[in-house]
């Protein structure tokens, strides 16, 4: 029976993954309904404010009478509170579904076992912790956001084979200096599509004038552009301000909407503002000084290192980081490594 539960939970996780670029600030959730060894309905949560996975799975069932003898699988505990949509646990009870199998609990304080308790009190059999580790990993950004009261922080940079981020630039040398190959960019843009914001320091905007978008991966998403510029050096005409979806931090008011930072702990202040804006996760893309600030403060949850095939021999040194490598592979000539903190 355990293997059967795992089989259907894996399908839930596959469905949930479809919300990777659209579900935030809600978690990614998939659900299947099984009757006599066959899936009779399935669904996933597409966007905050729209129907939850369990609701979509139930709606996908043609013969509603079968629900009274079916099992509902879902990778995250069904909600029990009224948010933008009604609680899923109420609908499960109303449909008289006798058994619910759950991947992991929702540790958000609004739920945290209340959905399970509600189902059990209604006489529904509840089985927990099926593929728990995989279920928790899928929604690691959601869990971190609520547990740490800050966004999930993914560091990302591309470095030369000999460990440099950039050439030693002269004052007249502006624009992008690519280290990674063109084939890697769709991968990076997919990673961008799964976070809510891209954070960079002033030097990155001044030197590269990036747009910080996801043009090379098909995702309907508005990314927050987050700029840290304590000294007010970034020009209001920079590309990053052309889209109104930005958060700009500086020590004084500028010609663009500004979040004032003036404390001795600016990163904590910045993360607090982003949390208040429901920005679930961010990718810190540079430059070297900004990345090293997060590393030195031990404020990171994941790191993505891209090492190109060429050496620069001199230039701006890449940050130094220690972590557990959980992925290590090549895209064409670029080496991709994903790290977690030790």
127-145: pLDDT as tens digits: 999 999 999 999 999 999 9
The larger pLDDT score, comparing residue 210 to residue 152, is at: 152
Residues 154 and 79 reside in one and the same domain: no
> Which tops the pLDDT comparison, 60 or 49?
60
**What value does the mean pLDDT of the chain take?**
93
What does the radius of gyration of the chain's CA atoms come to, in whole angstroms? 23
Q: What is the pLDDT of residue 293?
A: 95
pLDDT grade for 83, boundaries at 50, 70 and 90: low
Task: List the CATH number of the domain containing 78.
Answer: 3.40.140.10
| Mean pLDDT on 21-34 | 97
Query: Is 300 found in the same domain as 162?
Result: yes
Three-class DSSP category at 79: coil
Closest listed residue to residue 270, CA positions, set 298, 210, 229, 328:
229
- Euclidean distance between CA atoms 334 and 315, whole angstroms: 19
Residue 87, phi-psi category: left (phi > 0), alpha (psi -120 to 50), beta (remainder): beta
**Short-list 214, 186, 152, CA closest to 21:** 214
DSSP string, 114-141: HHHHHHHHTT-EEE--TTHHHHHHHTHH
pLDDT at 68 (0 to 100): 97
* Nearest CA-CA partner of 281 in 191, 210, 215, 166: 191
Q: Choose one of 88, 118, 143: the last residue of a domain.
A: 143
Sorted by sequence, the CB contacts under 8 Å of residue 121 that are 6+ apart come out as none
In the prediction, which pLDDT does 174 show? 60
Same domain for 129 and 159, yes or no, is: no
In this structure, the answer to whether residues 251 and 138 fall within a common structural domain is: no
Over residues 92-116, the mean pLDDT reads: 92
14 is written with which tokens? 């596959």
Q: Examine the domain organization and report whether 97 and 189 are in the same domain.
A: no
Looking at the structure, do residues 113 and 217 belong to the same domain, yes or no? Answer: no
What is the pLDDT, as a whole number, of residue 216? Answer: 77
Owning domain of residue 36: 2-143
Is the domain of 199 the same as that of 282? yes
The tokens describing 103, both together, are 């991947």
| pLDDT top residue among 109 and 10 | 10
pTM of the prediction?
A: 0.92
Q: Catalytic: 285?
A: no
- 87 and 154, same domain (yes or no): no
CATH assignment at residue 191: 3.40.430.10
Domain end, chosen from 102, 121, 143, is at 143
Alpha helices in 23-75 (DSSP H): 53-59
Give residue-wise pLDDT tens across range 241-273: 998 899 999 998 999 999 999 877 899 999 999
Within this chain, do residues 235 and 335 fall inside the same structural domain, yes or no?
yes
122 and 172: one domain?
no
Q: Does residue 258 share a domain with residue 119?
A: no
Beta-carbon contacts of residue 123 (< 8 Å; ≥ 6 apart) = none
Final residue of a structural domain among 125, 143, 161: 143
**Beta strand 224-228 pairing with 197-201:** parallel
Active-site option among 4, 6, 54, 134: 54
Asked whether residue 219 falls in the same domain as residue 331, the answer is yes
Give the number of domains in the chain. 2
Tell me if residue 70 falls in helix, strand or coil: coil
| Parallel/antiparallel/unpaired status of strands 99-104 and 125-127 | parallel
**pLDDT tens, 188-233?**
999 999 999 999 999 999 988 998 988 877 777 789 999 999 999 9
């Amino acid at each position: 029976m355990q293997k059967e539960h795992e089989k259907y939970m894996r399908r839930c996780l596959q469905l949930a993954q479809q919300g990777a670029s659209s579900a935030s600030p809600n978690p990614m959730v998939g659900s299947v309904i099984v009757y006599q060894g066959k899936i009779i309905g399935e669904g996933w949560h597409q966007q905050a404010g729209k129907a939850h996975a369990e609701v979509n799975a139930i709606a996908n069932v043609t013969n509603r009478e079968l629900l009274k003898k079916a099992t509902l699988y879902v990778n995250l505990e069904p909600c029990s509170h009224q948010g933008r949509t009604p609680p899923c646990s109420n609908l499960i009870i109303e449909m008289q579904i006798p058994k619910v199998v759950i991947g992991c609990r929702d540790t958000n304080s609004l739920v945290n076992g209340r959905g399970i308790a509600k189902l059990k009190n209604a006489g529904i059999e509840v089985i927990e912790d099926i593929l728990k580790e995989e279920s928790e990993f899928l929604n690691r950004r959601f869990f971190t956001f609520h547990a740490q009261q800050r966004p999930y922080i993914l560091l990302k940079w591309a470095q030369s084979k000999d460990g440099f981020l950039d050439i030693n630039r002269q004052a007249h040398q502006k624009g992008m200096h690519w280290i990674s190959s063109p084939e890697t960019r769709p991968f990076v843009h997919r990673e961008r599509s799964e976070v809510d914001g891209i954070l960079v320091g002033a030097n990155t905007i001044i030197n590269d004038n990036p747009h910080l978008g996801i043009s090379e991966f098909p995702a309907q998403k508005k990314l927050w552009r987050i700029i840290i510029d304590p000294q007010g050096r970034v020009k209001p005409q920079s590309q990053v301000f052309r889209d109104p979806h930005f958060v700009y931090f500086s020590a004084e008011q500028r010609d663009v909407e500004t979040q004032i930072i003036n404390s001795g702990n600016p990163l904590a202040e910045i993360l607090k503002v982003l949390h208040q804006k429901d920005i679930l996760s961010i990718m810190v893309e540079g430059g070297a000084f900004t990345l090293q600030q997060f590393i030195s403060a031990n404020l990171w949850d994941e790191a993505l290192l891209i090492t190109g095939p060429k050496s620069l021999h001199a230039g701006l040194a890449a940050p130094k980081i220690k972590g557990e490598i959980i992925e290590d592979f090549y895209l064409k000539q670029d080496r991709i490594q994903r790290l977690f903190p030790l």
